[in-house]
Amino acid sequence: MLKKLFQSFRTPLRRTQHIRSTPEVLNSGQHSLQKAQFSRYAVNIVERLQSAGYQAYLVGGCVRDMLLGITPKDFDVATSATPEQVRAEFRNARIIGRRFKLVHIHFGREIIEVATFRANHPQNEDDEDSNQSSRNESGRILRDNVYGTLEEDAQRRDFTINALYYDPVSERILDYANGVHDIRNHLIRLIGDPVQRYQEDPVRMLRAVRFAAKLNFGIEKHTVQPIRDLAPMLREIPSARLFEEVLKLFLSGHGAITYEMLVDLQLFEPLFPASADALEHNPEYTHTLISEALTNTDLRIKQNKPVTPAFLFAALLWPALPARVLRLQERGMPPIPAMQEAAHELIAEQCQRIAIPKRFTMPIREIWDMQERLPRRSGKRADLLLDNPRFRAGYDFLLLRESAGEQTDGLGEWWTDYQDANDSGRRDMIRELSGKDDGTGGAPRKRRRSNAKRKSAAGE
Protein backbone atom coordinates (compact mmCIF):
# COMPACT_ATOMS: atom_id res chain seq x y z
CA MET A 1 0.00 0.00 0.00
CA LEU A 2 2.80 2.42 0.90
CA LYS A 3 4.49 1.68 -2.43
CA LYS A 4 1.28 2.70 -4.18
CA LEU A 5 1.11 5.82 -2.02
CA PHE A 6 4.58 7.08 -2.83
CA GLN A 7 4.12 6.35 -6.52
CA SER A 8 1.33 8.93 -6.39
CA PHE A 9 3.75 11.83 -6.09
CA ARG A 10 5.35 11.74 -9.52
CA THR A 11 7.45 14.27 -11.30
CA PRO A 12 5.17 16.09 -13.76
CA LEU A 13 5.22 15.22 -17.42
CA ARG A 14 5.34 18.94 -18.11
CA ARG A 15 5.28 22.11 -16.03
CA THR A 16 1.99 23.71 -15.03
CA GLN A 17 0.47 25.40 -18.05
CA HIS A 18 -1.84 28.39 -18.30
CA ILE A 19 -5.32 27.46 -19.41
CA ARG A 20 -6.08 28.11 -23.08
CA SER A 21 -8.59 30.73 -24.13
CA THR A 22 -9.72 28.44 -26.94
CA PRO A 23 -10.28 24.75 -26.25
CA GLU A 24 -8.94 21.69 -27.95
CA VAL A 25 -12.02 20.27 -29.68
CA LEU A 26 -12.35 16.51 -29.89
CA ASN A 27 -14.93 15.41 -32.43
CA SER A 28 -16.91 12.19 -32.10
CA GLY A 29 -14.27 10.21 -33.98
CA GLN A 30 -11.54 11.33 -31.55
CA HIS A 31 -13.06 10.05 -28.30
CA SER A 32 -15.12 7.12 -27.02
CA LEU A 33 -18.12 8.99 -25.59
CA GLN A 34 -21.63 8.60 -26.98
CA LYS A 35 -24.76 10.53 -26.11
CA ALA A 36 -26.63 7.36 -25.15
CA GLN A 37 -24.15 6.62 -22.32
CA PHE A 38 -25.27 9.64 -20.30
CA SER A 39 -28.39 10.17 -18.22
CA ARG A 40 -31.28 10.90 -20.57
CA TYR A 41 -32.51 13.54 -18.13
CA ALA A 42 -29.16 15.35 -18.18
CA VAL A 43 -29.04 15.18 -21.97
CA ASN A 44 -32.61 16.52 -22.13
CA ILE A 45 -31.65 19.48 -19.93
CA VAL A 46 -28.72 20.34 -22.19
CA GLU A 47 -30.89 20.09 -25.30
CA ARG A 48 -33.66 22.26 -23.81
CA LEU A 49 -31.25 24.93 -22.63
CA GLN A 50 -29.54 25.02 -26.02
CA SER A 51 -32.93 25.29 -27.73
CA ALA A 52 -33.73 28.24 -25.46
CA GLY A 53 -30.60 30.01 -26.72
CA TYR A 54 -28.19 29.22 -23.89
CA GLN A 55 -24.88 27.40 -23.93
CA ALA A 56 -25.05 24.11 -22.04
CA TYR A 57 -22.76 21.11 -21.59
CA LEU A 58 -22.34 17.98 -19.52
CA VAL A 59 -19.30 18.75 -17.41
CA GLY A 60 -16.73 17.55 -14.91
CA GLY A 61 -16.77 14.18 -13.19
CA CYS A 62 -19.32 12.49 -15.42
CA VAL A 63 -17.22 13.26 -18.52
CA ARG A 64 -14.00 12.25 -16.77
CA ASP A 65 -15.42 8.98 -15.47
CA MET A 66 -16.98 8.05 -18.80
CA LEU A 67 -13.60 8.49 -20.50
CA LEU A 68 -12.13 6.13 -17.89
CA GLY A 69 -14.88 3.54 -18.30
CA ILE A 70 -16.33 4.28 -14.85
CA THR A 71 -20.07 4.63 -14.32
CA PRO A 72 -20.66 8.15 -12.93
CA LYS A 73 -22.61 8.55 -9.70
CA ASP A 74 -24.21 11.75 -10.96
CA PHE A 75 -24.41 13.98 -14.00
CA ASP A 76 -23.75 17.72 -13.84
CA VAL A 77 -24.62 20.42 -16.36
CA ALA A 78 -22.87 23.78 -16.83
CA THR A 79 -24.69 26.56 -18.66
CA SER A 80 -24.63 30.25 -19.53
CA ALA A 81 -28.15 30.57 -18.08
CA THR A 82 -28.42 32.06 -14.60
CA PRO A 83 -30.09 30.02 -11.85
CA GLU A 84 -33.25 32.11 -12.24
CA GLN A 85 -33.28 31.53 -16.00
CA VAL A 86 -32.82 27.77 -15.51
CA ARG A 87 -35.68 27.68 -13.01
CA ALA A 88 -37.88 29.53 -15.52
CA GLU A 89 -37.25 26.76 -18.06
CA PHE A 90 -37.96 23.82 -15.72
CA ARG A 91 -40.92 23.68 -13.38
CA ASN A 92 -39.25 20.84 -11.44
CA ALA A 93 -36.20 23.01 -10.65
CA ARG A 94 -35.15 24.41 -7.29
CA ILE A 95 -32.38 26.93 -6.54
CA ILE A 96 -30.16 25.89 -3.64
CA GLY A 97 -27.09 27.29 -1.89
CA ARG A 98 -25.88 30.69 -0.81
CA ARG A 99 -22.11 30.42 -1.01
CA PHE A 100 -22.45 28.80 -4.43
CA LYS A 101 -25.88 29.02 -6.06
CA LEU A 102 -26.95 25.93 -7.97
CA VAL A 103 -30.11 24.54 -9.49
CA HIS A 104 -31.35 21.04 -8.73
CA ILE A 105 -33.75 19.63 -11.32
CA HIS A 106 -35.72 16.66 -10.01
CA PHE A 107 -36.75 13.66 -12.10
CA GLY A 108 -38.22 11.28 -9.56
CA ARG A 109 -35.26 10.08 -7.45
CA GLU A 110 -32.68 11.39 -9.91
CA ILE A 111 -31.42 14.93 -9.41
CA ILE A 112 -29.43 16.74 -12.09
CA GLU A 113 -27.30 19.61 -10.80
CA VAL A 114 -27.07 22.65 -13.06
CA ALA A 115 -24.44 25.35 -12.44
CA THR A 116 -24.04 28.69 -14.17
CA PHE A 117 -20.63 29.43 -15.71
CA ARG A 118 -18.43 31.08 -13.07
CA ALA A 119 -15.74 33.75 -13.54
CA ASN A 120 -12.68 34.71 -11.49
CA HIS A 121 -13.24 37.00 -8.53
CA PRO A 122 -12.18 40.65 -8.90
CA GLN A 123 -8.57 41.13 -7.80
CA ASN A 124 -9.39 44.48 -6.19
CA GLU A 125 -11.46 44.04 -3.01
CA ASP A 126 -13.18 47.36 -3.70
CA ASP A 127 -14.61 45.89 -6.90
CA GLU A 128 -16.22 42.92 -5.12
CA ASP A 129 -19.95 42.84 -4.65
CA SER A 130 -20.51 41.07 -1.31
CA ASN A 131 -23.80 39.65 -2.59
CA GLN A 132 -21.92 37.88 -5.39
CA SER A 133 -18.41 37.23 -4.11
CA SER A 134 -16.38 37.54 -0.95
CA ARG A 135 -13.18 36.19 0.60
CA ASN A 136 -11.78 36.10 4.11
CA GLU A 137 -8.39 37.45 5.13
CA SER A 138 -6.55 34.27 4.10
CA GLY A 139 -8.08 34.34 0.62
CA ARG A 140 -10.70 31.62 1.15
CA ILE A 141 -13.77 32.15 -1.00
CA LEU A 142 -16.86 32.67 1.14
CA ARG A 143 -19.26 33.39 -1.70
CA ASP A 144 -18.84 32.46 -5.35
CA ASN A 145 -21.63 33.76 -7.54
CA VAL A 146 -19.64 35.76 -10.09
CA TYR A 147 -21.02 34.55 -13.41
CA GLY A 148 -18.90 34.48 -16.55
CA THR A 149 -18.19 32.86 -19.89
CA LEU A 150 -17.45 29.24 -20.75
CA GLU A 151 -13.74 30.05 -20.99
CA GLU A 152 -13.78 31.71 -17.56
CA ASP A 153 -15.70 28.77 -16.11
CA ALA A 154 -13.04 26.36 -17.34
CA GLN A 155 -10.39 28.47 -15.65
CA ARG A 156 -12.32 28.34 -12.37
CA ARG A 157 -12.44 24.52 -12.34
CA ASP A 158 -10.13 22.86 -9.83
CA PHE A 159 -8.34 20.08 -11.73
CA THR A 160 -7.57 19.67 -15.42
CA ILE A 161 -9.44 16.36 -15.54
CA ASN A 162 -12.60 18.17 -14.40
CA ALA A 163 -12.40 20.98 -17.00
CA LEU A 164 -13.94 18.88 -19.75
CA TYR A 165 -17.22 19.88 -21.43
CA TYR A 166 -19.24 17.40 -23.49
CA ASP A 167 -21.93 18.54 -25.91
CA PRO A 168 -24.30 15.59 -26.44
CA VAL A 169 -25.90 17.36 -29.42
CA SER A 170 -22.71 17.66 -31.49
CA GLU A 171 -20.95 14.87 -29.51
CA ARG A 172 -17.85 17.03 -29.13
CA ILE A 173 -15.56 17.41 -26.10
CA LEU A 174 -14.15 20.85 -25.31
CA ASP A 175 -10.85 20.55 -23.41
CA TYR A 176 -9.46 23.82 -22.03
CA ALA A 177 -6.70 22.48 -19.77
CA ASN A 178 -5.20 19.38 -21.40
CA GLY A 179 -7.50 17.30 -19.22
CA VAL A 180 -7.75 14.46 -21.73
CA HIS A 181 -3.94 14.32 -21.81
CA ASP A 182 -3.80 14.07 -17.99
CA ILE A 183 -6.51 11.40 -17.97
CA ARG A 184 -4.48 9.33 -20.41
CA ASN A 185 -1.40 9.78 -18.22
CA HIS A 186 -3.27 9.16 -14.95
CA LEU A 187 -2.32 12.49 -13.40
CA ILE A 188 -4.06 14.86 -10.96
CA ARG A 189 -3.09 18.46 -11.77
CA LEU A 190 -4.50 21.71 -10.40
CA ILE A 191 -5.46 24.49 -12.79
CA GLY A 192 -3.60 27.71 -11.96
CA ASP A 193 -1.28 28.48 -9.06
CA PRO A 194 -1.63 25.68 -6.46
CA VAL A 195 -1.06 27.91 -3.42
CA GLN A 196 -3.71 30.40 -4.53
CA ARG A 197 -6.18 27.68 -5.46
CA TYR A 198 -5.77 25.94 -2.09
CA GLN A 199 -6.11 29.26 -0.27
CA GLU A 200 -9.34 29.94 -2.16
CA ASP A 201 -10.74 26.60 -1.01
CA PRO A 202 -8.61 24.35 1.26
CA VAL A 203 -10.99 21.43 0.62
CA ARG A 204 -9.27 21.14 -2.78
CA MET A 205 -6.41 19.44 -0.91
CA LEU A 206 -8.81 16.72 0.21
CA ARG A 207 -10.25 16.46 -3.30
CA ALA A 208 -6.77 15.94 -4.75
CA VAL A 209 -6.25 13.00 -2.39
CA ARG A 210 -9.73 11.60 -3.03
CA PHE A 211 -9.35 11.65 -6.82
CA ALA A 212 -5.85 10.17 -6.65
CA ALA A 213 -7.07 7.31 -4.47
CA LYS A 214 -10.31 6.72 -6.36
CA LEU A 215 -8.81 6.82 -9.85
CA ASN A 216 -5.40 5.34 -8.95
CA PHE A 217 -3.79 8.49 -10.38
CA GLY A 218 -0.58 10.20 -9.39
CA ILE A 219 -0.56 13.76 -8.04
CA GLU A 220 1.53 16.15 -10.13
CA LYS A 221 4.59 17.59 -8.33
CA HIS A 222 3.53 21.24 -8.20
CA THR A 223 0.01 20.24 -7.13
CA VAL A 224 1.20 18.21 -4.14
CA GLN A 225 4.11 20.42 -3.05
CA PRO A 226 2.23 23.08 -0.98
CA ILE A 227 -0.20 20.72 0.74
CA ARG A 228 1.76 19.99 3.94
CA ASP A 229 2.33 23.69 4.59
CA LEU A 230 -1.29 24.64 3.88
CA ALA A 231 -2.96 21.68 5.63
CA PRO A 232 -3.78 23.74 8.79
CA MET A 233 -6.13 25.86 6.65
CA LEU A 234 -8.64 23.00 6.84
CA ARG A 235 -9.38 24.17 10.39
CA GLU A 236 -11.13 27.18 8.86
CA ILE A 237 -13.62 25.05 6.92
CA PRO A 238 -17.13 24.77 8.45
CA SER A 239 -17.48 21.51 10.36
CA ALA A 240 -20.70 20.56 8.52
CA ARG A 241 -18.95 20.75 5.15
CA LEU A 242 -16.06 18.64 6.43
CA PHE A 243 -18.46 15.89 7.51
CA GLU A 244 -19.65 15.50 3.92
CA GLU A 245 -16.07 15.59 2.62
CA VAL A 246 -14.92 12.92 5.09
CA LEU A 247 -17.74 10.61 4.01
CA LYS A 248 -16.58 11.02 0.40
CA LEU A 249 -12.99 10.28 1.43
CA PHE A 250 -13.65 7.13 3.42
CA LEU A 251 -16.81 5.66 1.85
CA SER A 252 -15.60 5.62 -1.74
CA GLY A 253 -14.24 2.08 -1.60
CA HIS A 254 -10.65 3.37 -1.37
CA GLY A 255 -10.56 4.44 2.27
CA ALA A 256 -7.40 2.57 3.29
CA ILE A 257 -5.10 4.23 0.73
CA THR A 258 -6.89 7.55 1.30
CA TYR A 259 -5.99 7.35 5.00
CA GLU A 260 -2.34 6.62 4.14
CA MET A 261 -2.21 9.67 1.90
CA LEU A 262 -3.93 11.95 4.41
CA VAL A 263 -1.41 11.00 7.10
CA ASP A 264 1.56 11.41 4.77
CA LEU A 265 0.39 14.85 3.59
CA GLN A 266 -0.41 15.95 7.18
CA LEU A 267 -4.11 16.35 6.33
CA PHE A 268 -5.28 13.82 8.93
CA GLU A 269 -4.46 15.97 11.98
CA PRO A 270 -6.72 18.93 11.04
CA LEU A 271 -9.59 16.46 10.57
CA PHE A 272 -9.02 14.17 13.58
CA PRO A 273 -6.73 15.95 16.07
CA ALA A 274 -7.21 13.51 18.97
CA SER A 275 -6.66 10.48 16.73
CA ALA A 276 -3.58 12.11 15.20
CA ASP A 277 -2.22 12.56 18.73
CA ALA A 278 -2.85 8.87 19.42
CA LEU A 279 -1.11 8.03 16.15
CA GLU A 280 1.95 9.93 17.34
CA HIS A 281 2.07 8.34 20.82
CA ASN A 282 0.95 4.80 19.93
CA PRO A 283 1.64 4.57 16.20
CA GLU A 284 1.58 0.81 15.58
CA TYR A 285 -1.73 0.11 17.31
CA THR A 286 -3.50 3.24 16.06
CA HIS A 287 -2.37 2.78 12.47
CA THR A 288 -3.27 -0.93 12.45
CA LEU A 289 -6.75 -0.45 13.92
CA ILE A 290 -7.73 2.40 11.59
CA SER A 291 -6.24 0.67 8.54
CA GLU A 292 -8.03 -2.61 9.38
CA ALA A 293 -11.34 -0.78 9.80
CA LEU A 294 -10.96 1.03 6.46
CA THR A 295 -9.81 -2.14 4.65
CA ASN A 296 -12.92 -3.94 5.94
CA THR A 297 -15.08 -0.99 4.87
CA ASP A 298 -13.54 -0.98 1.38
CA LEU A 299 -14.25 -4.70 1.06
CA ARG A 300 -17.88 -4.34 2.13
CA ILE A 301 -18.40 -1.54 -0.40
CA LYS A 302 -16.91 -3.67 -3.17
CA GLN A 303 -19.26 -6.50 -2.14
CA ASN A 304 -22.25 -4.10 -2.13
CA LYS A 305 -22.79 -4.71 1.57
CA PRO A 306 -24.15 -1.95 3.82
CA VAL A 307 -21.74 0.24 5.78
CA THR A 308 -22.49 2.79 8.45
CA PRO A 309 -20.54 5.97 9.16
CA ALA A 310 -21.09 5.30 12.88
CA PHE A 311 -18.84 2.23 12.87
CA LEU A 312 -16.25 4.04 10.78
CA PHE A 313 -16.11 7.08 13.06
CA ALA A 314 -16.04 4.78 16.10
CA ALA A 315 -12.89 3.17 14.69
CA LEU A 316 -11.27 6.46 13.64
CA LEU A 317 -11.71 7.93 17.13
CA TRP A 318 -11.26 4.84 19.32
CA PRO A 319 -7.44 5.04 19.68
CA ALA A 320 -7.86 8.39 21.46
CA LEU A 321 -10.42 7.01 23.94
CA PRO A 322 -8.70 4.44 26.27
CA ALA A 323 -6.23 6.97 27.74
CA ARG A 324 -9.11 9.28 28.62
CA VAL A 325 -11.06 6.43 30.22
CA LEU A 326 -8.01 5.42 32.25
CA ARG A 327 -7.51 8.97 33.55
CA LEU A 328 -11.11 9.08 34.78
CA GLN A 329 -10.78 5.65 36.40
CA GLU A 330 -7.63 6.81 38.19
CA ARG A 331 -9.75 9.59 39.70
CA GLY A 332 -12.07 6.94 41.15
CA MET A 333 -14.78 6.75 38.48
CA PRO A 334 -16.14 3.21 37.77
CA PRO A 335 -15.32 1.70 34.34
CA ILE A 336 -18.68 2.12 32.57
CA PRO A 337 -19.34 5.71 33.72
CA ALA A 338 -15.70 6.51 32.87
CA MET A 339 -16.23 5.15 29.37
CA GLN A 340 -19.43 7.16 28.95
CA GLU A 341 -17.89 10.40 30.21
CA ALA A 342 -14.75 10.03 28.08
CA ALA A 343 -16.85 9.20 25.01
CA HIS A 344 -19.00 12.29 25.51
CA GLU A 345 -15.93 14.49 25.87
CA LEU A 346 -14.12 13.05 22.83
CA ILE A 347 -17.14 13.24 20.52
CA ALA A 348 -17.90 16.81 21.60
CA GLU A 349 -14.33 17.83 20.75
CA GLN A 350 -14.42 16.01 17.42
CA CYS A 351 -17.68 17.65 16.42
CA GLN A 352 -15.91 21.01 16.62
CA ARG A 353 -13.89 19.86 13.59
CA ILE A 354 -16.33 17.53 11.85
CA ALA A 355 -20.03 17.97 12.60
CA ILE A 356 -21.03 14.32 13.07
CA PRO A 357 -24.84 14.22 13.25
CA LYS A 358 -26.54 12.87 16.36
CA ARG A 359 -27.93 9.94 14.38
CA PHE A 360 -24.31 8.71 14.20
CA THR A 361 -22.87 9.94 17.51
CA MET A 362 -25.40 7.91 19.51
CA PRO A 363 -24.47 4.59 17.83
CA ILE A 364 -20.77 5.46 18.19
CA ARG A 365 -21.21 5.78 21.95
CA GLU A 366 -23.24 2.56 22.08
CA ILE A 367 -20.54 0.63 20.18
CA TRP A 368 -17.91 1.92 22.61
CA ASP A 369 -20.15 1.23 25.61
CA MET A 370 -20.44 -2.39 24.46
CA GLN A 371 -16.67 -2.77 24.81
CA GLU A 372 -17.03 -2.34 28.58
CA ARG A 373 -20.10 -4.58 28.75
CA LEU A 374 -18.91 -7.52 26.62
CA PRO A 375 -16.50 -8.82 29.30
CA ARG A 376 -19.41 -8.99 31.81
CA ARG A 377 -20.98 -12.32 30.90
CA SER A 378 -22.02 -14.04 34.15
CA GLY A 379 -25.59 -14.98 34.99
CA LYS A 380 -28.07 -13.70 32.42
CA ARG A 381 -25.84 -10.90 31.21
CA ALA A 382 -24.52 -12.77 28.17
CA ASP A 383 -28.00 -13.50 26.83
CA LEU A 384 -29.14 -9.94 27.49
CA LEU A 385 -26.11 -8.62 25.59
CA LEU A 386 -26.79 -11.03 22.74
CA ASP A 387 -30.29 -9.55 22.40
CA ASN A 388 -28.99 -5.98 22.44
CA PRO A 389 -29.56 -4.31 19.03
CA ARG A 390 -25.96 -3.01 19.15
CA PHE A 391 -24.44 -6.40 19.98
CA ARG A 392 -23.35 -7.20 16.42
CA ALA A 393 -21.61 -3.86 15.92
CA GLY A 394 -20.03 -4.12 19.37
CA TYR A 395 -18.85 -7.69 18.69
CA ASP A 396 -17.41 -6.72 15.30
CA PHE A 397 -15.64 -3.82 16.97
CA LEU A 398 -14.18 -6.16 19.60
CA LEU A 399 -12.76 -8.36 16.82
CA LEU A 400 -11.34 -5.25 15.16
CA ARG A 401 -9.56 -4.31 18.39
CA GLU A 402 -8.12 -7.81 18.68
CA SER A 403 -6.93 -7.80 15.06
CA ALA A 404 -5.07 -4.56 15.87
CA GLY A 405 -3.20 -6.31 18.69
CA GLU A 406 -5.31 -5.60 21.79
CA GLN A 407 -5.15 -8.35 24.40
CA THR A 408 -8.65 -9.30 25.59
CA ASP A 409 -7.96 -12.74 27.13
CA GLY A 410 -9.77 -14.52 24.31
CA LEU A 411 -12.96 -12.50 24.68
CA GLY A 412 -13.66 -12.37 20.94
CA GLU A 413 -13.26 -16.13 20.60
CA TRP A 414 -15.55 -16.68 23.58
CA TRP A 415 -18.31 -14.59 22.03
CA THR A 416 -17.82 -16.29 18.67
CA ASP A 417 -18.30 -19.70 20.31
CA TYR A 418 -21.20 -18.48 22.44
CA GLN A 419 -23.18 -17.33 19.40
CA ASP A 420 -22.73 -20.73 17.74
CA ALA A 421 -23.45 -22.85 20.83
CA ASN A 422 -26.84 -24.38 21.62
CA ASP A 423 -28.65 -23.54 24.84
CA SER A 424 -26.97 -26.30 26.81
CA GLY A 425 -23.54 -25.32 25.52
CA ARG A 426 -24.15 -21.71 26.47
CA ARG A 427 -25.07 -22.69 30.03
CA ASP A 428 -21.84 -24.70 30.27
CA MET A 429 -19.84 -21.68 29.04
CA ILE A 430 -21.45 -19.44 31.65
CA ARG A 431 -20.75 -21.98 34.43
CA GLU A 432 -17.08 -21.99 33.42
CA LEU A 433 -17.01 -18.30 34.29
CA SER A 434 -18.25 -18.96 37.87
CA GLY A 435 -15.96 -17.75 40.58
CA LYS A 436 -14.12 -15.36 38.28
CA ASP A 437 -14.11 -11.61 38.68
CA ASP A 438 -17.40 -10.32 37.25
CA GLY A 439 -15.80 -6.94 36.65
CA THR A 440 -13.60 -8.31 33.87
CA GLY A 441 -15.34 -11.54 32.99
CA GLY A 442 -12.09 -13.38 33.66
CA ALA A 443 -10.24 -15.52 31.16
CA PRO A 444 -12.27 -18.59 30.19
CA ARG A 445 -10.54 -21.94 29.81
CA LYS A 446 -9.20 -22.64 26.36
CA ARG A 447 -11.96 -24.13 24.26
CA ARG A 448 -11.85 -25.83 20.94
CA ARG A 449 -12.81 -23.24 18.35
CA SER A 450 -15.99 -23.76 16.38
CA ASN A 451 -15.94 -23.77 12.60
CA ALA A 452 -17.72 -20.41 12.51
CA LYS A 453 -15.69 -17.74 10.82
CA ARG A 454 -15.02 -14.57 12.65
CA LYS A 455 -16.33 -11.56 10.93
CA SER A 456 -14.81 -8.14 11.41
CA ALA A 457 -17.18 -6.08 9.37
CA ALA A 458 -17.48 -2.32 9.00
CA GLY A 459 -20.80 -2.46 10.87
CA GLU A 460 -24.22 -3.71 10.02
- Which sequence positions are flagged as catalytic? 74, 76, 158
For residues 121 and 128, the answer to whether their CB atoms sit within 8 Å is yes
Give the separation between CA 156 and CA 128, rounded to whole angstroms: 17
SS3 for 420?
Answer: helix
CA distance 343 to 328: 11
209, 202 Cβ separation under 8 angstroms: no
What does the DSSP 8-state code read for residue 10?
Answer: P
Q: What DSSP character marks residue 165?
A: E
Residue 217 CA, distance from chain mean position:
17
433: closest CA among 448, 421, 444? Answer: 444
Region of 139 please: left (phi>0), alpha (psi -120 to 50) or beta.
Answer: left
Sign of CA dihedral 333, 337, 343, 349: negative
Contacts with 243 (C-beta within 8 Å, 6 or more apart), sequence order: 354, 355, 356, 357
